[in-house]
Structure formats: C-alpha cells, structure tokens
Amino acid sequence: MLWRLFSKSKAIPDRSQYRSAPSRADGVGVQIALGNGVPISGRLINMSAGGAAIDFDEGVEADLVLDAVRTITFSSLSSTPLRISAVVRSLPSSAEPNRYGFQFVDEVQVDKEEHAGFLRLFNRRRDRRARPGLDERLGGQIIVNGLSYDVLLHDISVGGACIRVPQDLHVSTGAEFEFRFSVPKTNHLIVCLAEVRSVHTDASGTRLGLATAVVPESDSKRNLDRAQAALADYIERRVTEMERYNSAFE
C-alpha cells in the first residue's frame, strides 16, 4: 500500500496506478519550477503515469503548499526531458521530512520513440506485476478460436499479464480468449478471460499485454479464493525479491 508513504495529508490511496521506484540504472533526474520560476532539483522516490513522490533537501515548504500547481521536469540520459504539470497532494511528515506527493494534472502520455527511458516508470497499471525468477519458467495456455497454445509468462499481476506467444499466432488488440496458468509451487490453477491490450513484436518474439478477469464458474468459490490468495502471495514475494535485487545496484 504505497499511500502509506505519505503519513500526513495522505496522497490518494485509491490512485489508479501503482508507483514504481526508479533505480540508479534508470538514470532519471527531476526538477521542479517554483512559483517564482526558479528550478530546484529533487530526488525521485517513486512515480507512475498519474503522479510522483519527490524528496527535496532544500526548504521549499513556503512554496509547495497543498493544491499548488507546479511544473515538474523529468530527465534521462536516454530520453528527451519531459515536462508535466502537477498538483501538490501531500506534505512532508516527521517520518519523511522532505517528501512531497504530486498528482499529475493530466495523465502522462509517453512517446515510445522520444521517451523510451521513461516507459517502465510511467506505467498505467493498477496492480504491481512480478516477473518469474531466473530459475523458474512460468507457463500457461490460451484457447484461441478453439485451439490451445502453450505460452510463457513474462510477468503477472492479479489483474493482468504479459505473455510470450508462438510467432505463428496472430491476434490483435481487443481480442478475447481463455487464459489459464498454475500458481508456481502450488496446485492452484487460475482460469481467466483475457483481453489483449497491447501487442509487441521484436527479435525475441511476440508479447501480448493482457487484462484478465477470473472466470468464477471455473471452480468452487472456496478454491478460487485460495488460488487468488496464493497468486497474491506469489506476486508479493517476487516483487519483494525484485526490489531487493534492484536496490543492490543503487
């Protein structure tokens, strides 16, 4: 629950995207233009397509008051700068004396060519996604037009997934099909209705971004609850492991 990062004037606990924490490898810098136009640098704590949390070492409390609208500039070594209007939604607390929470006035639209360095951080997903460990292959099946195809999961969340599909399978955005997979290291099978939200093809093959909804008739409610709880536990464990790994390089 990332809203707990803001213990005073909490920053919208029902925000529509979770926020990702940038690593040193992302090379993302941040500046904000104060009301008098003077830019001041900060330290980016987390961000999404809907907002960001930023620490400032200098005193800005007289300028960054609740509901103040300011321009934030994000920079990256691999992308052109990105300027975004944002409103102050949370103020520092005793636990985090330099941290401000911002909500972007308009949801960020990141150009894939011009702003490639920001694509991971300016996400639009509601749920955190976890990638399988390097020592495990997370497989599943999809049923398209009555035919079954084996797929590999690139990442998974409680409401979506990114899967690698055979190169001879051609589907377009908006297509729907049945998607099923087993929660790793358990006997739980998740059966979903999936809708294709994105299609990405590169040298390694084709990936589909899916929005998923569990099919309630696929099992008893008790078993479904257990399966979904097991999936949530797996995602939480993997996200924790991923964050611990990334922090080693910061």
Q: Which of 60-69, 123-132, 135-144, 219-228 has the highest mean pLDDT?
A: 60-69
Considering the domain 139-247 in this protein, what is its CATH number? 2.40.10.220
Give yes or no for residue 7 having a pLDDT over 60. Answer: no
Considering the domain 2-118 in this protein, what is its CATH number? 2.40.10.220
What is the tens place of the pLDDT at every residue in 73-99? 988 877 788 888 999 988 988 888 889
- The full set of domain ranges for the chain reads 2-118, 139-247
% pLDDT > 70, the chain: 75
Mean pLDDT of the chain: 78
Give yes or no for residue 142 having a pLDDT over 80. Answer: yes
Instruction: Render 102-119 in DSSP notation, one character per residue.
Output: EEESS-----TTTTGGGT
- Hey, how many other C-beta atoms are within 10 angstroms of the C-beta on 84? 20
Residue-level pLDDT at 70: 93
**CATH topology identical between 2-118 and 139-247:** yes
Q: Report the 3 state secondary structure along 47-90.
A: ECCCEEEEECCCCCCCCCCCCCEEEEEEEECCEEEEEEEEEEEE
Residue-level pLDDT at 100: 93
